[in-house]
Structure 1
Amino acid sequence: MPTLSRHESVFVLRFSEPENPADAPDNAFSPDFLDSLDAAFDEVEASEGPAALVTTGAGKFYSNGLDLSVVASDPAGLPAYVSRAQRVFARVLRLELPTVAAVNGHAFGAGAMLALSHDHRVMRADRGFWNLPEAQLGMPFPPGMNALITTRLPHTVASTAMLTSKRYAADEAIAAGIAHEAAEADAVLDRAITVAAEMAPLRSANYAGIRTGLVAGALSHLDEPITRL
């Protein structure tokens, strides 16, 4: 489950923290996982002073996105479940502090979209992909997810990523505008914390308002409950 710690002005939200990185889970969006994210955001928002937030996974995965066991076990509840995931994206986009994704490994599907919800993205240089597999899996992009992707990425990149399920390694992700920079495996989190610390003094309602203006079209769709998929 996610854990939150603070390093001076930077909050670090780890999606998992196993003793052995080889045993790290894929950080899929189980209901409990999503509840833990919301609790961490509550704590971050209740803090005072300059601050920024870094999120990261462990081992091979940043996040594998939607929990396919939840999808398979409750088809009737799928619209509500995906709506819940979209509200997490919207919440990250509304935080009154800068956000940095330390993408330590694979970011797939909704996990890739969670990374896109951050202001700055640092990817692991040597391995790990950013990927939207929905076309290959026969899954649709509901309006909120569609709007998030097409708002955060150039149209040609969004089109390729969504229609072909192309896997982007760090160098390709940077060239496409998906990631801002890359770092070696043992430096991804440290680099993200450095970037976040530099941005922390920007924390304010004004900062959040500027971001909201940039993503207003996506937020309106992310807020809208999904009724069918």
Structure 2
Amino acid sequence: MTSIRIEKTGPVAVLRLEHGKANALDTGLCRELAAKVDESGARALVLAGSAKVFSAGVDLRRIRDGGAPYVREFLPALSDAFLAVFGFPGPTVAAVTGHAIAGGAVLAAACDRRVMASGAGRFGLTELAVGVPFPLVAIEVLRCAYGDPVLSELALSGRTYAAPDALARNLVHELAAPDAVVSRATEVALELAAAPEGAFAHTKAQLHHPFDERIGEQRAADDGPVEAMWSSPETLASIGEYVRRVLERG
């Protein structure tokens, strides 16, 4: 069953995440996203969520229930999904339709531009509140989007921000009415796609080069320790407690 619907508007493909209530990232969704990006055949991409949620991040219940074997297959798929969006040669715009939390915020950061709905959604990185480390790919995607000082505050504080604060902190580029965020993101994608395709792709590759280089050099060495931390009894217990206290309250 597909979790991503593709709509075409001229040279722009809108990839709408339709995966449960929260568009939580699990192995299947990550693999499907990477494949859909690769197969889109579009000049530009818009990545959109549902009416109230862009993506609430990693499906922590699947991590809790699947334990180490699930972590072993999930983490590479997660990084591959981030890289598929980050490495797309044409313009990419996140239509942040609602909450973009943890891995959902990383997914938005992998895009060239972010347009956020001016509603009740929040944007931020809660990984340390859950008790899990960032994979290298996620850190480099975030570093490219925000630079070290902003990334340090985002990653270490675990705070989330309402749309006006996310805009003030340059976490997103602009706000749009909730019912217009996808159309505005599509307009931005079309504006960016007006540049010559080859020149745009080359310039984007130049901007991404230092981050791609670190990923290429360090990912293999980073993946093992990160997987071990995510799979440890202490981390799985922390995830289980977070699910109970935050996600399953009431």
TM-score, scaled relative to structure 1: 0.87
SS at match of 2:224: coil
- Work out whether 1:188 is the aligned partner of 2:181: yes
Distance 1:68 1:203, change over 3 A: farther
State the partner residue of 1:31: 27
Helix, strand or coil for the counterpart of 1:126? coil
1:222 is displaced (CA, Å) by 4.2
Identity fraction in percent: 31
1:60 lines up with 2:52 in the alignment: yes
1:227 aligned residue: 224
- Assess if the C-alpha contact under 8 Å between 1:122 and 1:192 holds in 2: yes
- Post-superposition shift, 1:69? 2.6
Q: Is there any run of 5+ residues in structure 2 with no aligned partner, and where?
A: 227-250
Secondary structure at 1:84 match in 2: helix
SS of residue matched to 2:202: helix
Query: What number of residue pairs does the alignment pair up?
Result: 219
Q: Does 1:206 align with 2:199?
A: yes
Aligned 8 A contact 1:96 1:203 in 2: no
- What is the deviation of 1:202? 2.9
Of 77-86 and 116-125, the range deviating more from structure 2: 77-86
Higher relative contact order (CA 8 A, sep 6+): 1
- The match for 1:6 is 8
TM-score by length of 2: 0.80
Aligned to 2:229: none
Rounded to whole Å, the distance in 1 between the matches of 2:59 and 2:89 is 28
In 2, Cα distance between equivalents of 1:137 and 1:40: 29
Aligned match of 1:122: 115
User: Retained in 2: the 8 A contact 1:154–1:177?
Assistant: no
Structure 1: segments with no counterpart, 5+ residues: 18-23
Q: Give the deviation of 1:146 after TM superposition.
A: 1.9
Q: Which residue of 2 aligns with 1:20?
A: none
Which of the pair has more CA radius of gyration? 2
Q: CA deviation at 1:194?
A: 1.1
Alignment of 1:1-229 (within 5 A): 1-16=3-18, 25-44=21-40, 46-47=41-42, 51-72=43-64, 73-202=66-195, 204-223=197-216, 224-225=219-220, 226-229=223-226
C-alpha RMSD over aligned residues = 1.9
Cα shift at 1:123: 0.4
Once residues 184 and 98 of structure 2 are traced to their aligned partners in structure 1, the CA distance between those partners, rounded to angstroms, is 15
Counterpart for residue 232 of structure 2: none
Per-residue deviation at 1:106?
A: 0.4
How far is the alpha carbon of 1:193 from its aligned partner?
1.0
**Quick one: distance in 2 between partners of 1:180 and 1:156?**
18
String of CA shifts for 1:162-192, please: whole Å, max 9, x gaps. Answer: 1111112222112222100001111111111
Higher fraction of helix: 2
**TM superposition shift of 1:76:** 4.1
Residues 203 and 138 of structure 1: CA distance in aligned 2, closer, same or farther (over 3 Å) = farther
Question: How far apart, in 2, do the equivalents of 1:221 and 1:69 lie?
Answer: 31
